[in-house]
Amino acid sequence: MGLDGAVIAGANLIVVGFSAEHSVRAAMVLWMRLCVEAADGQDSKRLLELISEIDCLLHEREMRIRNVRREASRYVIEAAEKKAS
């Protein structure tokens, strides 16, 4: 007996969502809905569509994370250069 997918999605959003900006929260809600639908789906064509959408969202998230890391690295390097001079 597992938990309903919507309950799990809601719990994840409560835990993570409050600290995220609106666009990130909206993407998380969409991601969770797609995952719940994919987990419950029986139509193979729709399942492929859902997986494609989920993959796209995960790729966008990865790009956001890389940009944040790049900006953080740049800031650290600039701070170290200022300190050294």
Supply the pTM of this predicted model.
0.60
Which residues lie below 8 Å from residue 40, measured CB to CB, with a gap of 6+?
5
Q: pLDDT tens string for the chain (85 positions)?
A: 455 666 656 655 555 555 566 677 777 778 888 888 888 888 999 999 999 999 998 888 888 888 888 888 888 888 888 888 7
Range(s) of the domain holding residue 48? 5-84
Give the whole-angstrom CA distance, residue 33 versus residue 21: 18
Largest CA distance in the chain: 63
**Total count of domains within the chain:** 1
